[in-house]
């Protein structure tokens, strides 16, 4: 039973919206210094915003890409269906090639593409209308999924101090967050005593984004360097760890921001419950193991600089944006259809079998 509505859980606006051929996003590269909403008016601008992480976070990326297709549909000057679909597929490829790890991107793009193809015999105006409608539906469903996950997660996380990594908050989704929804419901219920926020080098999604959005909503938190997480756990100051996910595969292995695997091993060492939370649109049942997940490598500049200052000489850099945590370290997977417990391979298969 959902006790709270989004507006009772956060004062933030949605992270991405669409209106009449324009995609509006919060420019996350400007936070925390500046809260700025920017307008994206071409597919290329949408793609660039995803690539440069002006908008980031698996579900937010998916919804933004879907709105990119809506933007194409609503602004296309094509006179024939053949020309329209030629441009549609070009837009689809441009958006598909932005970032490789978060499966929500491909899930959202394919959902819109398949709908458009199913209605190829309809009028061009009807096809355009359906594309825009489906993109909006994807965004609205994300908010409802987050609301459900918030309630499910708050039921299973123990009362006390929670540690999180990166940002899987409202900014990483259309609204509320995945981790963010759980933390906000716990805060509402009085069961979240303190939130430990990992700064999350090199892009600092924790320090710049999580610290900003959770303090904005009044959640008590302490920001720590990534290297301090183990010490905080060793002092017995963490009662649970909850992180987002960019791709969960059929056996429960999952990709998430670099540094997640380290936390999982430490949680096991210290007997701390370790959860990931993600909607079904983040689960890729086509991959059997985490070894199959494509891991994005980003620019060396992200590591060579911090807060705009150069922090290292011009040396070789390895900058994987994600790592893969084996399912054996997971206590549970909080989804919008309930909590999935071990054995993950069997229970994920059962969950998807009941739905599809």
Ligand X SMILES: CSC[C@H]1O[C@H](OP(=O)(O)O)[C@H](O)[C@@H]1O
Q: Which residues bind ligand X (CB under 6 A)?
A: 56-59, 166, 168, 172-173, 178, 205, 243-244, 246, 256-257, 321
Closer residue to ligand X (CB): 320 or 343: 320
Give 3's DSSP letter.
Answer: -
Give 306's DSSP letter.
Answer: E
Closer residue to ligand X (CB): 178 or 331: 178
Start-to-end CA distance of the chain, whole Å, equals: 23
Taking each helix axis as running N to C, give the angle between helix 124-156 and helix 58-75, from 0 to 180 degrees, rounded to the nearest 10. Answer: 170
Which residues make Cβ contacts (< 8 Å) with residue 42, sequence separation at least 6?
Answer: 71
Q: Which of 226, 246, 253, 323 is catalytic?
A: 246
246 given a catalytic annotation = yes
99 known member of a binding site: yes
256 known member of a binding site: yes
> Minimum CB separation from ligand X for residue 84, in Å?
31
> Minimum CB separation from ligand X for residue 160, in Å?
22
In the bound state, the residue with its beta carbon closest to ligand X is 244
> Minimum CB separation from ligand X for residue 328, in Å?
20
87 known member of a binding site: no
The answer to whether the peptide bond before residue 343 is cis (omega within 30 degrees of 0) is yes
> Minimum CB separation from ligand X for residue 99, in Å?
7
Which residues make Cβ contacts (< 8 Å) with residue 184, sequence separation at least 6?
Answer: 9, 10, 150, 176, 177, 217, 219
Closer residue to ligand X (CB): 18 or 100: 100
41 known member of a binding site: no
* Contact between 203 and 266 (Cβ < 8 Å): no
* Contact between 55 and 172 (Cβ < 8 Å): no
> Minimum CB separation from ligand X for residue 210, in Å?
10
| 131/115 Cα distance (integer angstroms) | 7
Locate 12 and state its tokens. Answer: 């933030």
257 known member of a binding site: yes
| 37/119 Cα distance (integer angstroms) | 34
Closer residue to ligand X (CB): 71 or 172: 172
Secondary structure element (H or E) that encloses residue 213, with its range: helix 211-216
Find how far residue 35's CA is from the centre of its chain.
19
- DSSP alpha helices (H): ranges in 25-157? 43-51, 58-75, 81-96, 103-118, 124-156
110 known member of a binding site: no
230 known member of a binding site: no
Closer residue to ligand X (CB): 64 or 173: 173
Closer residue to ligand X (CB): 134 or 142: 142
Four-CA torsion 191, 226, 9, 61, nearest 10 degrees: -140
> Minimum CB separation from ligand X for residue 104, in Å?
8
| 309/301 Cα distance (integer angstroms) | 10
Please give the annotated binding residues for substrate, written as ranges: 56-58, 99, 205, 256-257
Q: Which residues are catalytic?
A: 246
Please give the annotated binding residues, written as ranges: 56-58, 99, 205, 256-257
């Amino acid at each position: 039973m959902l006790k709270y509505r989004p507006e009772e859980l956060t004062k933030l606006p949605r992270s991405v919206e669409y209106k009449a051929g324009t995609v509006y996003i919060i420019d996350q590269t400007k936070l925390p210094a500046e809260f700025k909403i920017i307008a994206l008016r071409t597919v290329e601008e949408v793609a660039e915003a995803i690539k440069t992480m002006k908008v980031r976070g698996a579900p937010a990326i998916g919804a933004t890409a879907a709105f990119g297709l809506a933007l194409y549909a609503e602004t296309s000057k094509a006179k024939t269906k053949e020309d329209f679909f030629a441009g549609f597929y070009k837009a689809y490829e441009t958006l598909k090639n932005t970032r490789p790890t978060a499966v929500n991107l491909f899930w959202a793009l394919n959902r819109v593409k398949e709908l458009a193809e199913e209605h190829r015999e309809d009028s061009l105006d009807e096809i355009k209308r359906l594309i825009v409608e489906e993109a909006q539906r994807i965004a609205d469903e994300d908010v409802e999924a987050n609301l459900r996950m918030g309630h499910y997660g708050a039921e299973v996380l123990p009362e006390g101090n929670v540690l999180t990594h990166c940002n899987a908050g409202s900014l990483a989704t259309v609204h509320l967050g995945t981790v963010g929804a759980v933390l906000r419901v716990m805060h509402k219920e009085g069961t979240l005593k303190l939130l430990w926020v990992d700064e999350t080098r090199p892009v600092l999604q924790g320090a710049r984004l999580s610290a900003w959005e959770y303090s904005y909503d009044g959640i008590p938190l302490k920001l720590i360097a990534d290297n301090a997480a183990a010490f905080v756990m060793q002092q017995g100051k963490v009662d649970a760890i909850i992180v987002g996910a960019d791709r969960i595969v059929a056996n429960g292995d999952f990709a998430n921001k670099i540094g997640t695997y380290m936390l999982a091993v430490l949680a096991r060492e210290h007997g701390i419950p370790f959860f990931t939370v993600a909607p079904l649109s983040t689960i890729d049942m086509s991959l059997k193991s985490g070894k199959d997940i494509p891991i994005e490598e980003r620019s060396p500049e992200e590591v060579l600089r911090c807060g705009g200052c150069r922090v290292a000489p011009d040396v070789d850099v390895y900058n994987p944006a994600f790592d893969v945590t084996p399912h054996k370290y997971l206590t549970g997977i909080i989804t919008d259809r309930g909590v999935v417990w071990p054995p993950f391979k069997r229970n994920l298969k059962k969950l998807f079998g009941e739905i599809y």
